[in-house]
Chains A and B, each alone.
Chain A
Amino acid sequence: MGAAAPKSDLLQGTLDVLILKVVALGPIHGYAIAQRLQQMSGAVLQVQQGSLYPALHRLEKRKWLKAEWAASETGRDARFYTLTRLGRTQLDEQRANWTRLSTAITGVLGTAK
């Protein structure tokens, strides 16, 4: 028992790379990450808090992200995440993986038509 399974329609494992990508743009807190993902995906991807925070903490524990408390745009303290060097390597790797995979899948689906 424990962490609930991700309820989003995201493919297993893709949430991590999306978070890494968003965080790569600069220090950002959890709420803003969810907002950014929604915006960037044209409101297709909606990340539930139940998936987002465990994922953030997991990435932090793997030392791909680091976090610190700082004043947010509203003046209230929020927890800001930044990418570590390790996280950046991971992002590059996973992005390359994804590109390869999606090209392959698109290729297969295209041929079937």
Chain B
Amino acid sequence: MWSSRRRFRARDELAFHRDRLIEGFVADGMDRKAAERRVFLEFGNTAALEEASRDVRGRWLNDFVKDGSYALRALRRNPAFATVAVLSLALAIGANTAIFSLVNAVLLRPLPIHEPDRLVQITRLTPEGRPANVSYPLFEHLRDHVQAISGAFAHASLRASILIDGEQEFAAADIVTGDYFNVLGLAPGAGRLLGPADDVLSSAVPAAVISDGYWQRRFNRSPSAIGRTFTTRDRVFTIVGVMPATFRSVRVGTTPDLVLPMVLTISDSQRTEPTNNSLKMLARLKPGATVAQVSAEGQTLWRTFIEPLAAKVPGGLRAEVRDRRVGALPSPDGINDFRSDLSEPLLILMGLVVFILLLAAVNLSGLLVAKAAARQREISIRLAIGAGRGRLVRQFLTESFVLACIGGAMGLALAAWLSTGLTALFLNGRDLDLSVGPDWRVLTFTAAVALTVCILAGLVPALQAIRVNLNPALKRVRATGHGRLGRALVMTQVAISMVLVVGATLFVGTLVKLYAVERGFDGNGVVAVYIRSTGPFPDERGAALVADLVARLRVLPGVESASAAQVLPLSGNDWTRGIELPADAIRPGDSSTAFNAVTPGYFTTLGTSLLAGRDFDARDTASAQPVAIVNKSFARYFFGTAPAVGRRVTSLKVPYVIVGVVGDAMYEDLRKGFRQTMYIPSAQREGEQQPPSYKYLVRVASGDPARLGPTIARLVGETDPALQMTDAVTYATLVDRSIPAERILATLGGVFGVLALVTAGIGMFALLAFQVARRTNELGVRMVLGATRGSMVGLVLRDVGWMLVPGIALGAGAALMVTDLARGVLFGLTPTDPTVFAVAALVLTVAALAAAWLPARRAARVDPLVALRHE
């Protein structure tokens, strides 16, 4: 290599000079030996001279390569150290990368479209400022009148039952208006994409586009797919093209098979009713236009849209006019449901793993310090013969750099595996696809993380090593400074662990408190069944099918009771309806309530108690007097202490007579408490009776209710061939699914907490064991002088105390500063709950005592005679 030849020559040059000097002296008549000695003295330190000559030449890279290969050789020689260091790094970097991959996929990554930064969502906004849906007429109004946009489209997702090649199958479909692909700026993967001409009611040949995935799966990428037809919603569609492979949908996480023109797929009421809000609207900003401009225009247009409408409607659409606004939101990532659901827990997790990373850095630092202590003599010698201190620091950093590189590469591999599990945890049973593959952002992040660890971990031992006092080190006197530094590092580990354990305690505590919330129903032994159909049902047949299905479920062996409901408690759906109370109620007039339609036996199946009156039964048919059951909160809120049974409530102009009062049950969210709820019999529900819109509940007498799954699936198909069971989940699972963020935080927070405890425990154990071994001699002397075994243990425990107490205090201080960020996800606990901090401190103390157990025992068992001969 050029560099080594160059150094060789630099040495040659000096040798030449030296030899010429010697020859000169010899020529002057000096004895050769004496001449050599004289020249040697005159030349002084050749090593330093060589180093000096070399430093002039800027050979940093060369040193780096050399130090790198030296570090690799050192690692191979010390496999135990290498394994521990690399594994702990890989774990920390892997966890960081995995969570960052999710953050990237959920919060950072824009859609793979042309100039995603100019994509905005124009939408109705809830009073809290969250996006709601828009209706088709509102979409048209905004599309045609907002000046600051160059184009807009509406979007909805649905599962369609399609008939293709004589086979009936379900396909996920995006239904979009004509400018979808124009606004996104996409080019077709094959054929052509949809345009405004396809999105008209009079379309002679209804066109559809398929996704690259569907093209592969269904047609094996055959070009003949274009021109094929399928039937859905009584219309024959012709496939005209394939979307590019890079693009799936404007709704993040969905993987549609088909894209259909909107006006050909939505119902007449969806197309024409100005308040049928079921669509999302996205638009592209004109160059130079801002989101604020679109917001301002949208709000003005909203007023011109809603106020004339409200004037015509009896109720005046009060809530719409008063509470709703229209605004624009930047949407480079399209319609992202994950953002609102997951961003908080994700950012909290990101914060937690940063502490894990710090812990790994401190851990590695400790290992490197110990290793450097073993090399202290070598380093002292190198310093004594003139090695530069900067040069040694670079060597230490190179060593930790090599470790960080290996750890980073392994971490990246580990992250790929971890993210799969994490994604499943985050999707929480939802049928969505979150691609978390590494892109340049993830790779940059991992590199930055690895580099930070390398510098954090490498600097401490490097600075420690070169601060050495040469004399005692060379004389083989044991260094004492290492003990103090080691203790500081363990104390730091305790502090970081404290933060993580406080976090874990908060999250686990939150979960425990959520599970302890009184729900008003008993889900044990209950399975919830979801079904779907291949086509619409006529109303009458639909109602009969619901009753038939419930009747068949009820007589299955081992089943105690069965029923159906439109909305299940804690299932993520809710149904609110406007009602009108009579003049004699406490709160007469217009109001709203949580609403549900259920079959007889629903309350028995869910274990909600009947407090007054009766349950629905066979008398409550579609033609009979409309009846209702209300919950306790409803009765108390509207009627006070007066009996509710016999009173009237009107909804959608139907006057219902209350026939029963039931206990409160938790519907929306475990955090939100009970709402006033009104139930009507499913048989009396007006409008379409679609069996799939009901959820079926089955309570078993004993055992795991999930075992009935296959039986129920068969039974559903037997009841009607057009029905299919999609899911049968135990109620426990359903409840779990209602608190995904809390469960993730408790699980991962707990894992991180335990990881931190183990790391800090091992660090402390190693340090104490080393101290006891080092002080064997001294301990022996103490024993001879009359110290008791108890005082030996006391010595070790004092060491523990010196690391534990400041560590816990420091960690508690740090935790106090950061836990407030998690306030939003906590339940029943405050971020500064003293009990939580006390529990965390206790857990750490127990872990520390466990770590001290063996060293303390060893100290107590020191045999004075053996100890004095030690060394």
Are B44 and A50 in contact, CB atoms less than 8 angstroms apart? yes
Write out, one digit per residue, whether chain B residues 181-192 have a CB within 8 A of any chain A CB (1) or not (0): 000000000000
Q: Across the interface, name the chain A residue whose C-beta is closest to B52.
A: A3
Q: Across the interface, name the chain A residue whose C-beta is closest to B48.
A: A4
A68 CB → nearest B CB, Å: 11
In angstroms, Cα B388 to Cα A31, docked, is: 27
Are A2 and B52 in contact, CB atoms less than 8 angstroms apart? yes
Are B390 and A1 in contact, CB atoms less than 8 angstroms apart? yes
Are B14 and A57 in contact, CB atoms less than 8 angstroms apart? no
Are A30 and B17 in contact, CB atoms less than 8 angstroms apart? yes
A79 within 8 A of B: yes
Are B20 and A61 in contact, CB atoms less than 8 angstroms apart? no
A79 contact from B9, B20, B44, B49, Cβ within 8 A:
B9
Write out, one digit per residue, whether chain B residues 4-21 have a CB within 8 A of any chain A CB (1) or not (0): 000001101110110111
B9 contact from A69, A74, A76, Cβ within 8 A:
A69
B439 within 8 A of A: no
B504 CB → nearest A CB, Å: 47
Are B53 and A54 in contact, CB atoms less than 8 angstroms apart? yes
Are A2 and B16 in contact, CB atoms less than 8 angstroms apart? no
Stretch at the interface among B54-62, B723-731, B849-857: B54-62
In angstroms, Cα B56 to Cα A4, docked, is: 12
A29 CB → nearest B CB, Å: 7
A77 CB → nearest B CB, Å: 7
A12 CB → nearest B CB, Å: 17
Are B14 and A49 in contact, CB atoms less than 8 angstroms apart? yes
Q: Across the interface, name the chain A residue whose C-beta is closest to B46.
A: A49
A85 within 8 A of B: no
Secondary structure class of chain B's binding surface, majority of residues: helix
B389 within 8 A of A: yes
Q: Which residues of chain B are within 8 angstroms of A78 by Cβ–Cβ distance?
A: 13, 16
Secondary structure class of chain A's binding surface, majority of residues: mixed
Are B20 and A57 in contact, CB atoms less than 8 angstroms apart? no
Q: Which residues of chain A are within 8 angstroms of B580 by Cβ–Cβ distance?
A: none
- Given A30-B13, A31-B20, A49-B17, does the pair A57, B57 have CB atoms closer than 8 Å? yes
In the complex, chain B residues 537-577 whose Cβ is within 8 Å of any chain A Cβ: none
Q: Across the interface, name the chain B residue whose C-beta is closest to A52.
A: B17
B637 within 8 A of A: no
Are B16 and A29 in contact, CB atoms less than 8 angstroms apart? yes
Are A49 and B49 in contact, CB atoms less than 8 angstroms apart? yes
Are A53 and B57 in contact, CB atoms less than 8 angstroms apart? no
A58 within 8 A of B: yes
In the complex, chain A residues 1-58 whose Cβ is within 8 Å of any chain B Cβ: 1-4, 29-31, 34, 48-50, 53-54, 57-58
Size of the chain B interface, CB-CB below 8 angstroms: 26
Q: Which residues of chain B are within 8 angstroms of A1 by Cβ–Cβ distance?
A: 388-391
Write out, one digit per residue, whether chain A residues 53-74 have a CB within 8 A of any chain B CB (1) or not (0): 1100110010000000100101
Are A49 and B52 in contact, CB atoms less than 8 angstroms apart? no
In angstroms, Cα B52 to Cα A58, docked, is: 10
In angstroms, Cα B386 to Cα A4, docked, is: 10
Which one of B10, B56, B57 has the highest number of Cβ atoms from chain A below 10 Å of its Cβ?
B56
Q: Which residues of chain A are within 8 angstroms of B12 by Cβ–Cβ distance?
A: 77, 79
- Given A1-B388, A31-B20, does the pair A58, B13 have CB atoms closer than 8 Å? no
Q: Which residues of chain A are within 8 angstroms of B63 by Cβ–Cβ distance?
A: none
B51 within 8 A of A: yes
Are B389 and A53 in contact, CB atoms less than 8 angstroms apart? no
Q: Which residues of chain A are within 8 angstroms of B51 by Cβ–Cβ distance?
A: 2
Q: Which residues of chain B are within 8 angstroms of A4 by Cβ–Cβ distance?
A: 48, 52
Are A79 and B43 in contact, CB atoms less than 8 angstroms apart? no
Q: Which residues of chain A are within 8 angstroms of B53 by Cβ–Cβ distance?
A: 53-54, 57
Are B56 and A31 in contact, CB atoms less than 8 angstroms apart? no
Q: Which residues of chain B are within 8 angstroms of A54 by Cβ–Cβ distance?
A: 52-53, 56
Are B56 and A49 in contact, CB atoms less than 8 angstroms apart? no
- Given A1-B390, A50-B44, A69-B9, does the pair A31, B55 have CB atoms closer than 8 Å? no
A49 contact from B9, B43, B390, Cβ within 8 A:
B43
Q: Across the interface, name the chain A residue whose C-beta is closest to B386.
A: A1
Q: Across the interface, name the chain B residue whose C-beta is closest to A67.
A: B13
A34 CB → nearest B CB, Å: 8
9 A-B pairs besides A48-B44, A72-B16, A76-B16 with CB distance below 8 A are A1-B391, A4-B52, A29-B16, A30-B17, A48-B42, A53-B13, A53-B52, A61-B56, A69-B9
Binding site for B on A (CB under 8 A): 1-4, 29-31, 34, 48-50, 53-54, 57-58, 61, 69, 72, 74, 76-79
| 27 A-B pairs in the complex with CB atoms less than 8 angstroms apart | A1-B390, A1-B391, A2-B51, A30-B13, A30-B17, A48-B42, A49-B14, A49-B43, A49-B44, A50-B44, A53-B10, A53-B49, A53-B53, A54-B52, A54-B53, A54-B56, A57-B53, A57-B56, A58-B56, A61-B56, A61-B57, A69-B9, A72-B16, A74-B20, A76-B16, A76-B19, A79-B9
